[in-house]
Amino acid sequence: MSSAILEKGVRVRFAPSPTGHWHVGGVRTALFNWLFARSQGGSFILRVEDTDRERSSKEYEIEMIEMMRWLGFDWDEGPDGEWVEGKWQESSRGEYGPYHQNQRTEAYKKKLEGLIENGKAYYCYCAKEDLDAERQMLLSQGLPPKYGGHCRALHSAPQGKTAQVIRFKTPEIEIEFNDLIRGRVKFNAELFGDFVIAKRVGDPLYNFAVVVDDDAMHISHVIRGEEHLSNTPKQILIQRALNLKEPIYAHLPLILAKDRSKLSKRYAETSLLEYREKGFLPDALLNFLALLGWHPAGDREIFSIKDLVKEFDFSRIQKSGAIFDEEKLLWLNREHIRGLPEEELIEKISPFLVRKNLNPDRERLRAFVALEKNRIKTLAEFVDNAWFFFVLPEYSPSLLVWKNSSVQETKETLQKILESFEGLHNDLFNREDILNMLQPIIDENGKGNVLWPLRVALSGQETSPDPLDIAEALGAFETRHRVAEAIKKIITLT
């Protein structure tokens, strides 16, 4: 990789447009840029591409920045500093906001005017209706829908007409560049026609603004999704026209559905906020997204963000599409939850309890978390699975009856269980004590006939953790209370 690094070292940028919720595709692009910068000791820059003022939203930008901070993406500079004599002078505050394209109008204007003066760009006066008609005609003939060049040779504005856009004067050449992921890539520029680079001098479009910004910010590598591959030759043409250095390009593989079709809107447009609200851990999400297109050297699949920085190798990014598998994401999240220290997991679960107006004491919560830690796939699932710990759900009395046992036998068994617990006054009692108290009843009536009604009495559910563990977590008082309530229920069936 050393031969590919420019004189200022590795400098990459994540440049989202704040026109919608931040979703998994954008997060993966940010992740690969961030990992590359951190693994190479380089700089990661955040730049908001908001030249589309009608569609850009401050709300989406704020959401994106909040999510970046939640994920742990830090960026290294911003508009509070500048390059001075070849060196970056840092902000005295030590922190940065992102760059904004809409604050760089003068820089774009100067470059656009230079292109026009040098005859490499020109004003186009063609009406939209005429261009649409020309496009349809070309498409009907199976030809590339490129601009016909009607205004290319004009030296002054046609009488009574106003310039509609500024076009780049595309040379009829072949553009070839080396993509770090795809190798040599070729495009025939003749097929583009003279493409639009600005609506007016102070209002550039994406392909022009990104070229000016990448040069001004000394970007060494442009790492982005495959959908931007067709933009690259146009940007290279602009770079050459402006006598700018060309960055090194790398286009990440598409994210596909399990059947290798285009990822459905359900996932492709799902806001990252939704994953946070469902209780996915940042490290699990980043672990999952890193594996969408990148393969570690061994068979290992579980990585923390620190592990990813250490292991990341750009040469191991694949060319083919990456499969989005939600089951894999849930599995990874479960594994990361299991790996959390108990106190850290409690801290992460607590906000989900607050949403449900649940506020158990710390010791009781610790017992509940210990029981559910290996069963939950998301933090939100803890509240769903463990709800019965806090509030016993309604259940049918018939659920208390084990297989071929009778209602009367179940009632008598529950009464014996309650009697065995009567002498307990401590709020918390351990599993071993509980089993010792129940063992005579189990020996007399059978394991299923005892533990099944106890499970239902304590949880109100058919599936739950071991009832002895539930009883230990609930404590003696609550356990006796729930068994007593179960007896009242079963009596209604006699």
Catalytically active residues are: 265
Instruction: Compute the CA torsion angle 131, 133, 134, 140 (nearest 10 deg).
Output: 140
3-state SS, 308-357, equals HHHHCCHHHECCCCEECCHHHHHHHHHHHHHCCCHHHHHHHHHHHHHHCC
Whether residue 313 contacts residue 35, with contact meaning beta carbons closer than 8 Å, is answered with no
Residues in Cβ contact with 388 at an 8 Å cutoff, skipping those fewer than 6 apart: 458, 459, 460, 461, 464
Tokens 């849930």 belong to 330
The distance between the two most distant Cα atoms of the chain, rounded to a whole number of Å, is 106
| DSSP state letters, 155-185 | SSPPTT----EEEE---S-EEEEEETTTEEE
Q: How far apart are CA 376 and CA 280, in angstroms?
A: 11
Residues in Cβ contact with 220 at an 8 Å cutoff, skipping those fewer than 6 apart: 5, 6, 8, 9, 10, 11, 12, 42, 247, 248
Element (H, E) at 439: helix 431-445
- Reference 144, options 208, 194, 205; nearest CA is 194
Phi-psi region of 78 (alpha: psi -120 to 50; beta: other; left: phi over 0): beta
Whether residue 421 contacts residue 480, with contact meaning beta carbons closer than 8 Å, is answered with yes
**DSSP single-letter state for residue 265:** H
For residue 256, the cross-strand partners are 262, 323
Q: How far apart are CA 145 and CA 139, in angstroms?
A: 6
Q: How far apart are CA 271 and CA 192, in angstroms?
A: 34
Q: How far apart are CA 67 and CA 303, in angstroms?
A: 20
Q: How far apart are CA 113 and CA 96, in angstroms?
A: 31
Q: How far apart are CA 464 and CA 112, in angstroms?
A: 67
Whether residue 135 contacts residue 129, with contact meaning beta carbons closer than 8 Å, is answered with no
By DSSP bridging, strand 165-168 and strand 121-124 are antiparallel
Q: How far apart are CA 48 and CA 100, in angstroms?
A: 5
Q: How far apart are CA 39 and CA 41, in angstroms?
A: 6
Instruction: Strands of 162-315 (E only): list them.
Output: 165-168, 174-179, 183-188, 196-200, 203-204, 221-225, 248-252, 255-256
